[in-house]
């Protein structure tokens, strides 16, 4: 998602954010789902430029995901 956005592929970023939101819902991770949906909100509709704040929303989502990965590794 971040790679797509930094390359200017905002539709690709929308795809990945949507995928993360769906997988988070399936895994019952509401905080991740909400953060991914917030990214989608900032990215806006397909074929439109994102609104200010999308980068901060993406960083927040990434931080949450890193926390899950690091937490899982610590608990192994």
Q: Which domain holds residue 7?
A: 2-75
∠ CA 48-49-54, nearest 5°, is 125
Residue 75 clears pLDDT 60, i.e. is over it: no
- Specify the pLDDT at position 27: 95
Locus of tokens 């899982």: 72
- What is the per-residue pLDDT across 10-50, written as a single tens digit (0 to 9) for each? 999 999 999 999 999 999 999 999 999 999 999 999 999 99
Residue 53 in contact with residue 43, Cβ under 8 Å?
no
Residue 35 in contact with residue 16, Cβ under 8 Å?
no
Nearest C-alpha neighbor of 68 from the set 15, 14, 30, 13: 30
Number of separate domains in the chain: 1
* H-only helix segments in the chain: 2-6, 10-26, 30-43, 54-75
């Amino acid at each position: 998602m971040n790679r797509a956005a930094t390359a200017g592929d905002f539709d690709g970023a929308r795809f990945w954010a949507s995928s993360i939101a769906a997988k988070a819902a399936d895994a019952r991770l509401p905080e991740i789902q909400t953060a991914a949906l917030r990214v989608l909100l900032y990215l806006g509709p397909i074929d439109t430029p994102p609104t200010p704040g999308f980068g901060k929303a993406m960083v927040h989502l990434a931080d949450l995901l890193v926390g899950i990965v690091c937490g899982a590794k610590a608990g192994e």
